[in-house]
A and B are shown apart, each in its own frame.
Chain A
Amino acid sequence: MSGHHISSDKTLLGVAGALFILTVLTVGVHYVHIPDPWSIIVAMGIAIFKATLVALFFMNLYWDDRFNLMLFLASIAFFILLVGLTLLDTLFRTDVVPGF
């Protein structure tokens, strides 16, 4: 609950190292060509994990006032709502909109 948490070099370098390794991993997995639908699931899983690391430790949400974490999670919730409601339409059409 501190607005002025000071991250140690060890934490920052450790998080950056993990992000580099995960980047290499996601490229490596791409060349393995795992069958559908798993390739996108694995790729997004790694991306979500990386984004979580950045948000928690680089953006300080792990130590910060919980209100800021709530704001961040709310934005994700509304994004899911946006996509979910849109897909309720687009996934159940007989014809894709002509022209585009």
Chain B
Amino acid sequence: MANHSSSTHSKFLQHHFVDAEQQFDSAKMGMWVFLVTEILFFGGLFAAYIVYRLWYPELFTLASEELNTLWGGVNTVVLIGSSLTVAMAIKSAQLNQKKNIAINLGITLALAAVFMVIKYFEWTHKFHLGIFPGEFYAFEGIDHPKANVFFSLYYLMTGLHGIHVVIGIGLMIWLLLRSMKGHFDSEYYTPVEITGLYWHLVDIIWIFLFPLFYLID
């Protein structure tokens, strides 16, 4: 270990890093590179949305009426709240408040679950009406020949986002278990930090999905 200048010897420090600091910064930069791919992943769908909205503006105004602004708004507030608690969990780790890490992660997990429950009721309500994506569309309530196109985009975009929330729930459970084992403190909290970055990006995506689908005048 001749070239190791680190004063801290976290048990989580990998041998191929000079010190914990370098390991942390590398992990964070790696996560940002991944988030770039995520933005462009969603970006393809946002591009499709923009193309179709410019082709059929009147369709988007009509079909948007089928979406419940209240529940969309509640979900927006829920996700923003969960972003806050993730940021609080990271801060708790930095301040060595181990109990608060678990508490904040627990609240985050609960809020993420609330988001998915609301999403479930929104989707099943639409299925009940016969609103399915693409060729399976069987709803008569919207007077527009391309109504299914709007809902294809709706299901794809909220669906891909929902998958990300579910993955986030899995990550939060993993972090919660590790935080209960006392793995995280001011010396080592990398998984909390980068899961937090992921979770905030999922929040940002929803911040755009909400007005684009629910708030069309």
Q: Which A residues lie at the B interface, using CB under 8 A?
A: 3-4, 6-7, 9, 12-13, 15-16, 19-20, 23, 26-27, 30, 33-34, 36, 39-40, 43-44, 46-47, 50-51, 54-55, 58-59, 64-65, 67-68, 71-72, 74-76, 78-79, 82-83, 86-87, 90-91, 96, 100
Contacts and interface: CB of A to CB of B under 8 A. Distances in A.
B25 A20 contact: no
Nearest to B199: A58
Interface string B64-106: 0000010001001100110110111001001100000000000
A79 B15 CA distance: 38
B36 A34 contact: no
Nearest to B80: A19
Contacts of A30: 69, 211, 215, 217
B209 to A, nearest CB: 9
B62 interface: no
Given A23-B73, A90-B54, A7 B91 contact: yes
Interface string B146-160: 000100000000000
Contact of B217 (A39, A47, A86): A39
A31 B73 CA distance: 13
SS of B interface (majority): helix
Contact of B208 (A13, A51, A72, A91): A51
Contacts of A33: 217
Contacts of B24: 3-4
A72 B38 CA distance: 11
B80 A82 contact: no
B32 to A, nearest CB: 5
B87 A83 contact: no
Interface of B: 21, 24-25, 28-29, 32-33, 35-36, 39-40, 43-44, 46-47, 50-51, 54-55, 69, 73, 76-77, 80-81, 83-84, 86-88, 91, 94-95, 149, 196-197, 200-201, 203-204, 207-208, 210-212, 215-217
Q: Which of A3, A39, A96 has the most CB of B within 10 A?
A: A3
Contacts of A64: 28
Question: Considering residues A23, A58, A71, which has the most beta carbons from chain B within 10 angstroms of its beta carbon?
Answer: A58
9 smallest beta-carbon distances between A and B, as pairs: A39-B217, A75-B36, A16-B84, A43-B211, A75-B39, A30-B215, A79-B43, A68-B32, A19-B80
B71 to A, nearest CB: 12
